[in-house]
A and B are shown apart, each in its own frame.
Chain A
Amino acid sequence: MATFELYRRSTIGMCLTETLDEMVSSSTLSPELAIQVLVQFDKSMTEALESQVKSKVSIKGHLHTYRFCDNVWTFILQDALFKNEDAQENVGRVKIVACDSKLLSQ
């Protein structure tokens, strides 16, 4: 199954990466194993988002920057308004990074 490493930048991914980093540094863990954990995280996170998350969000904002490079879209929005079912958030500047979902299904 193909995975994105995209989610390693999320909070949970960063926490895992830091943890692995420390453990490898202290020689508790071999780097190879750390990689395997990360790869497993990629898979698990992708699956979880697909199967366990059903919420929808809408974002509106002023597009400050857009970039499409190597199948990755990057947007920087200004004054973005995030809305989901029960709440909305205003954000002065948000970066959106999106990979092509079709790459996963291939």
Chain B
Amino acid sequence: MASTTTSSVYINVIEDVINKVREEFINNGGPGEAVLNELQGIWEAKMMQAGVILAPIERSSQKQPTPGSAITPVHDLNVPYEGTEEYETPTADMLFPPTPLQTPVPTPLPGSADGSMYNIPTGGSDYPTPVNDNGSNADIKGGRPSPYMQSPSPWSNQRTPLSVDVNVAYVEGREEVDRGTSNQPLTQVITVLSGITMHRDCLFFLGLGELLGRIKRISNPNGLNCLGYVSFNNPCSHLNELRKREDFAQYQNGGYIPQKDGAGDATSEVAKSEGLTYADQSHPGNSDSGQYWSYGGLMFIDFDLTQNGSRGGNFLDRRHSTTTAKSKILAELSRSSSKIPQLDGPIPDPYEDMLSTPNIYNYQGVVNEDYNVVNTPAPNDLQASTPAPAPQNDMVDDDDDEPLNEDDDDEDDLDDVDQGEELNTQHLVLAQFDKVTRTKSRWKCTLKDGIMHINNKDILFNKVCMQQANLISDFVREKCSRHRIAAVALKEQVKGCYSVFHLGSMVVVLYIKEESIFGLRMDDYLRQLLAVLKTSAMEYVISFILYT
């Protein structure tokens, strides 16, 4: 069972240890060589019993232990690994303790009964103090570029490397919150609005036709409850586009009665069902639509009712009004976005080039998105600090029909995590790490000089490359508790929002009251929101989906 190399290395280690402590045993009134031999004998016997040393031991220099000594009564020979405490994760306290915890703690000898006997004679000098090391390491490694950068692509110059050097404890967290809230109040949030995407990967490369097809497919048959597209980029041209289509749209929907009684309705009439399509058509490259569709089924179920009750249902059939209402919001959104000034100064220079393309606001504030069209510094930092679950569509698929976070307070999730942590693992790897990096949910670790105990075999290794894919559900589970608290806190403090909840690593603020949120009053809401965020000292990405 034990490999020959493992066995021989173990034997060498035993020999080495015995040889080097021999002096201590013999000199200075030590117990003498007989005791040393006994020690070696028992040790080796245990090792053989554990199956990690191949008997017989071939020793080069050392004489065999006396047979009798190996048969010293041993109470638990068959249980080399007794699980629980042994496999606890060592903390630095355990690994570099002033008093070694692994030391046998027998009943003290008479006359030497105080704990000081367990102090290491050499004092702390042999043990690097983690406290000091922390500081220096962080300094050296801060901002080190990860080797796992995205490969170049047409979009690549707009992406950030999403790898995070996770060897360094994050210190940016606090700054991010501050910066995100204080320096870039409005634009920050608005850009995040369009920043939540899930299917960007596939949609980005869809042709126009395909994109439209997809949108129609989703919106038409059963799509009354989903409004998918919010375009914040180049809103003026967006509106123009809509206006150009106005006549056409009117003809197409001959019986449609324009609503003249409210602000912004003119646009929304135009938008209608056609507008939805046109809006996307005018920005074929913008893939955010995919995202919203994905969320659509989950989030916007209540939408119809609101709209029917308020306006559209007065004179239009239900279905039509819904479509109209959706389009209206679409138009209003784009219109309102055109009114929102950018308060945090010019878009940073390095990104000027990209400004020629209409995707200014389209950078993805949410972490771990692949296509970061434009990254202003703040979202950049956010990306570094808070990983977001990548395949969120899993979640969407799972509970398509039930309200989001219905089972929010279900403690099972957390219990699972606890179990996972307390769970005793029979299989153990002990090693030193050279580097640990994470790219999105993929972890790569380089370990060295390790011992594995796998399937009752001991394997020694010099080097390990470890690739791990994060289990997304576990990740979400882990994040849940914090975000739940945040969501609850937000809901209490932010008035006028329909719902605040957490989704993965995001806190989503969902607005349903269209009249109060858009137009000029939108500013007030966002300010209010930001004020709350500022005081709540949250360290993760807050993403908003504002919807009417």
Instruction: Identify the A interface with B (CB < 8 A).
Output: 1-25, 27-41, 43-50, 52-78, 80, 82, 84, 89, 91-104, 106
Could you tell me if A98 and B118 are in contact, using CB atoms closer than 8 angstroms?
no
Could you tell me if B91 and A94 are in contact, using CB atoms closer than 8 angstroms?
no
Min C-beta distance of A99 to chain B, whole Å: 5
Among the listed B35, B89, B100, B465, which residue makes an inter-chain contact with A97, where contact means beta carbons less than 8 Å apart?
B89
Given A22-B74, A48-B13, A56-B463, also A101-B432 (CB < 8 A): yes
Could you tell me if A57 and B464 are in contact, using CB atoms closer than 8 angstroms?
yes
Given A40-B20, A93-B425, also A12-B35 (CB < 8 A): no
B448 within 8 A of A: yes
Given A9-B430, A45-B13, A94-B429, also A24-B104 (CB < 8 A): yes
Could you tell me if A22 and B72 are in contact, using CB atoms closer than 8 angstroms?
yes
Could you tell me if B466 and A91 are in contact, using CB atoms closer than 8 angstroms?
no
Min C-beta distance of A24 to chain B, whole Å: 4
A73 CA to B122 CA in the complex, in Å? 27
A7 CA to B262 CA in the complex, in Å? 74
Chain B residues contacting A53 (CB-CB under 8 Å) are 5, 9, 449, 460-462
- Cβ-Cβ contact count across A and B, 8 Å cutoff: 334
Interface centre among B72, B103, B445, B474 (most CB of A within 10 A): B103
Known: A11-B453, A12-B10. 6 other contacts (CB 8 A): A10-B430, A23-B35, A55-B5, A76-B420, A82-B454, A98-B450
Chain A residues contacting B459 (CB-CB under 8 Å) are 55, 57, 82, 84
Could you tell me if B86 and A14 are in contact, using CB atoms closer than 8 angstroms?
yes
Chain B residues contacting A100 (CB-CB under 8 Å) are 133, 137, 167, 432-433
Could you tell me if B466 and A31 are in contact, using CB atoms closer than 8 angstroms?
no
Could you tell me if B16 and A44 are in contact, using CB atoms closer than 8 angstroms?
yes
Given A25-B106, A101-B448, also A48-B462 (CB < 8 A): no
Among the listed B108, B423, B447, which residue makes an inter-chain contact with A96, where contact means beta carbons less than 8 Å apart?
B447
Chain A residues contacting B46 (CB-CB under 8 Å) are 15, 18-19
The chain B residue with its CB closest to the CB of A67 is B89
Could you tell me if A60 and B466 are in contact, using CB atoms closer than 8 angstroms?
yes
Give the contact stretch, choosing among B36-44, B184-192, B241-249: B36-44
Give the contact stretch, choosing among B123-131, B216-224, B286-294, B315-323: B123-131
Give the contact stretch, choosing among B24-32, B229-237, B295-303, B333-341: B24-32
Could you tell me if A69 and B47 are in contact, using CB atoms closer than 8 angstroms?
no
Among the listed B30, B433, B464, which residue makes an inter-chain contact with A99, where contact means beta carbons less than 8 Å apart?
B433
Could you tell me if A47 and B95 are in contact, using CB atoms closer than 8 angstroms?
no
Among the listed B39, B462, B463, B469, which residue makes an inter-chain contact with A37, where contact means beta carbons less than 8 Å apart?
B39
Number of interface residues of B (CB under 8 A): 109
Chain A to chain B contacts (Cβ below 8 Å), 11 pairs: A11-B47, A18-B46, A19-B42, A23-B35, A38-B102, A53-B5, A65-B474, A70-B130, A73-B433, A75-B445, A100-B432
Given A15-B47, A31-B109, also A76-B461 (CB < 8 A): no
B101-143 near A? 1/0 per residue, CB < 8 Å: 1111111110010000111111000111010011001000000
B3-23 near A? 1/0 per residue, CB < 8 Å: 001001110111011001100
B421 within 8 A of A: yes
A82 CA to B431 CA in the complex, in Å? 15
Among the listed B462, B466, B474, which residue makes an inter-chain contact with A59, where contact means beta carbons less than 8 Å apart?
B466
A37 CA to B445 CA in the complex, in Å? 32
**What does DSSP make chain B's interface, helix, strand, loop or mixed?**
mixed
Among the listed A12, A18, A33, A39, which residue makes an inter-chain contact with B31, where contact means beta carbons less than 8 Å apart?
A33
Could you tell me if B102 and A62 are in contact, using CB atoms closer than 8 angstroms?
no
A72 CA to B134 CA in the complex, in Å? 11
Min C-beta distance of B43 to chain A, whole Å: 5
A77 CA to B31 CA in the complex, in Å? 45
A41 CA to B30 CA in the complex, in Å? 18
Given A14-B86, A72-B90, also A30-B118 (CB < 8 A): no
Could you tell me if A33 and B25 are in contact, using CB atoms closer than 8 angstroms?
yes
Could you tell me if B471 and A95 are in contact, using CB atoms closer than 8 angstroms?
no
- For window 401-440 of B, CB contacts with A under 8 Å fall at 417, 420-421, 423, 425, 427-434, 436
Among the listed B130, B417, B467, B469, which residue makes an inter-chain contact with A71, where contact means beta carbons less than 8 Å apart?
B130
Given A60-B467, A71-B92, also A25-B107 (CB < 8 A): yes
Given A35-B120, A52-B9, also A98-B169 (CB < 8 A): no
Among the listed B10, B441, B455, B461, which residue makes an inter-chain contact with A84, where contact means beta carbons less than 8 Å apart?
B461
Min C-beta distance of B456 to chain A, whole Å: 10
Chain B residues contacting A33 (CB-CB under 8 Å) are 21, 24-25, 30-31
A9 CA to B35 CA in the complex, in Å? 24
Chain A residues contacting B453 (CB-CB under 8 Å) are 10-11
Min C-beta distance of B464 to chain A, whole Å: 5
Could you tell me if B447 and A49 are in contact, using CB atoms closer than 8 angstroms?
no
Interface centre among A7, A10, A13, A78 (most CB of B within 10 A): A10
Among the listed B5, B38, B169, B433, which residue makes an inter-chain contact with A28, where contact means beta carbons less than 8 Å apart?
B38
Chain B residues contacting A76 (CB-CB under 8 Å) are 420-421, 423, 425
The chain A residue with its CB closest to the CB of B72 is A22
Among the listed A10, A62, A80, which residue makes an inter-chain contact with B451, where contact means beta carbons less than 8 Å apart?
A10
Chain B residues contacting A50 (CB-CB under 8 Å) are 449
Could you tell me if A104 and B9 are in contact, using CB atoms closer than 8 angstroms?
no
Could you tell me if A61 and B468 are in contact, using CB atoms closer than 8 angstroms?
yes
Chain A residues contacting B117 (CB-CB under 8 Å) are 30-32
Among the listed A36, A57, A99, which residue makes an inter-chain contact with B461, where contact means beta carbons less than 8 Å apart?
A57
Closest 6 CB pairs of A and B: A70-B92, A21-B104, A15-B46, A101-B432, A98-B433, A95-B425
